[in-house]
Amino acid sequence: MFYGSIPAVITPFSNNEVDYNSFEKVISFLIEKGSNGLVPCGTTGESPTLSHDEHERTIELCIKEATGKLPIIAGTVSNSTEEAVSLTKHAEKAGADGALVVTPYYNKPTQAGLYSHFMSVADAAKVPLIVYDIPGRSIIPVNDETLVRLCENHELISGIKDATADISR
């Protein structure tokens, strides 16, 4: 379902507010240039700085603009499991094809805690999830054993966005 170039979409701001007109232009540009999917509200999309309303509206707008053209993997990133579940459910309802779920930043959970976080979101989800492993921001990596356990124990955990800079991985 997901392949090729799937860029994270920036969230432009103007006068301390999301600039939705510019956001639509960014989406159109990325579609015109041949993207194979889009990721609104990932960490590149400034999701930690968006209000819940802005987050939801940004995902909804991206889905509206891209419907029938390419899949949307909504960033449902949060260091709170409950919030990640809520954002994932909203993205599904809005029509997202998948969700990008990040390693909880700031909290520094154990591998068991990471497993529990991702499994909780997956158990509540109805769309494929991409595990976002970004130890440069979250301080802790998702180790390979944890990834294997996640993939073996939940059919919706479908991929990884690996930002570890470990080429051998």
Q: Which residues participate in catalysis according to the annotation?
A: 132, 161
Among candidate residues 98, 95, 125, 91, the one with its CA nearest the CA of residue 2: 98
How many Cβ atoms from other residues are within 10 Å of residue 156's Cβ?
Answer: 18
Q: Measure the CA–CA gap between 18 and 4, rounded to whole angstroms.
A: 28
Among candidate residues 94, 87, 73, 99, the one with its CA nearest the CA of residue 156: 99
Q: Measure the CA–CA gap between 51 and 166, rounded to whole angstroms.
A: 33
Q: Which residue matches tokens 């707008």?
A: 61
